[in-house]
């Protein structure tokens, strides 16, 4: 067996970049809130993000069989054990900082999103409605970041602004991801926003959200509720505009597709590298 092409290895590695990006988002949130860096907390956030997303892919779904065919045949039991280990590690680190609810909130919502909850005739499942998944992603991770930040910054306006900033960005990013999953979602009967409203209309809506959110953050920066991080916020704005402008259906060219993915998944990394580079030469 070719180890590098192992479906199980692909499954275990499928959420690594998302987890890294999430940990760096937490670092940026600390910078915006004026909190000293806390690397163990960032690590904990990354571990919890990894466990939540890997669990979702381990449990599988009808659309994933089409959208992520490279995971077919993976040993899901192994991945679930890894999810439990990484989640407990992240939760223990946060517990050391007396942070408890923020650990379990995304994990529970992730399970409800993937499999739902059934009690008698009552059935709750977050997956399937148009825009439902995008709202869940925004509320879950925007809320988790805000909950963690609130342990060190007690200004409710600052916490609300950080929640709004990341909630909006993650809402937009989750819709961008939906574009590359249109084929599988349509086959599974899942009505995502791109499927329901089409490419052009969604692009206009996302551009408007991106501009309004950054205008709000600019006002917050000028009024002192957000720390001045001009490089990070400027790159966030331009990365958002560019990534939204690049979205298209599954027929987009390879260069265009990979460029968009680098901009979306690598936004936090690139923003922090630019910030560090500019600081070092100034």
What pairs with residue 122 in β-bridges? 119
| Residues 147-168, mean pLDDT to the nearest whole number | 94
CB atoms within 10 A of CB 152: 14
User: Which two structure tokens, joined as six digits, stand for 259?
Assistant: 């460029």
More confident residue, 179 or 50: 50
The pLDDT of residue 40? 95
User: How many separate domains does the chain show?
Assistant: 1
Residue-wise pLDDT tens digits, 206-244: 999 999 999 999 999 999 999 999 999 999 999 999 888
The pLDDT of residue 177? 80
Residue-wise pLDDT tens digits, 246-272: 765 555 556 666 776 778 778 899 999
Terminal Cα distance for the chain, rounded = 52
pLDDT at 4 over 60: no
CATH of the domain at 33: 1.10.600
- The string of DSSP letters for the chain reads --GGG-HHHHHHHTTHHHHHHHHHHHHHHHHHHTPPP-HHHHHHHHHHHHHHHHHHHHH--TTHHHHTGGGTT--HHHHHHHHHHHHHHHHHHHHTTT--HHHHHHHHHHHHHHT-EEETTEEE--SSSTTHHHHHHHHHHHHHHHHHHTTT---HHHHHHHHHHHHHHHHHHHHHHHHHTHHHHHHTT---HHHHH-HHHHHHHHHHHHHHHHHHHHHHHHTTSS---HHHHHHHHHHHHHHHHH---TT--HHHHHHHHHHHHTHHHHHHHHHHHHHHH-
| CA 280/CA 277 separation, integer angstroms | 5
| CA 49/CA 123 separation, integer angstroms | 25
Residue-wise pLDDT tens digits, 24-79: 999 999 999 999 999 999 999 999 999 888 887 777 654 454 445 444 556 678 88
Boundaries of domain holding 26:
3-281
Residue-wise pLDDT tens digits, 115-125: 666 666 656 66
| Residues 75-91, mean pLDDT to the nearest whole number | 87
**Virtual torsion, Cα 48, 49, 52, 56, nearest 10 deg:** -160
The pLDDT of residue 114? 62
Where does the pLDDT of residue 166 fall: very low under 50, low under 70, confident under 90, or very high at 90 and above?
Answer: very high
């Amino acid at each position: 067996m070719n180890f590098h092409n192992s479906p199980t290895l692909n499954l275990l590695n499928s959420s690594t970049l998302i987890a890294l990006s999430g940990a760096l988002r937490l670092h940026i949130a600390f910078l915006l809130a004026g909190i000293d860096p806390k690397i163990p907390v960032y690590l904990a956030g990354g571990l919890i993000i990894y466990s939540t997303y890997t669990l979702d892919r381990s449990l599988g779904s009808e659309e994933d069989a089409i959208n992520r065919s490279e995971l077919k045949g993976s040993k899901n039991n192994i991945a679930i054990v890894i999810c439990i280990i990484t989640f407990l590690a992240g939760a223990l680190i946060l517990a050391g900082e007396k942070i408890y609810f923020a650990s379990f909130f995304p994990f529970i919502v992730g399970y409800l999103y993937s499999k739902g909850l059934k009690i008698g005739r009552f059935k709750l499942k977050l997956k399937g409605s148009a825009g439902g998944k995008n709202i869940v992603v925004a509320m879950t991770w925007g809320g988790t970041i805000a909950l963690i930040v609130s342990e060190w910054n007690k200004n409710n306006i600052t916490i609300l602004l950080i929640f709004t900033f990341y909630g909006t960005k993650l809402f937009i990013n989750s819709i961008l991801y939906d574009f590359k999953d249109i084929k599988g979602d349509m086959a599974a009967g899942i009505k995502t926003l791109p499927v329901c409203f089409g490419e052009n209309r969604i692009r206009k809506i996302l551009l408007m959200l991106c501009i309004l959110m950054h205008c709000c953050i600019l006002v917050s920066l000028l009024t002192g509720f957000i720390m001045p991080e001009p490089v990070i916020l400027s790159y966030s704005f331009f990365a958002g505009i560019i990534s939204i402008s690049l979205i298209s259906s599954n027929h987009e060219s390879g260069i265009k597709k990979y460029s968009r993915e680098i901009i979306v998944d690598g936004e936090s990394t690139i923003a922090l590298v630019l910030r560090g580079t500019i600081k070092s030469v100034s």
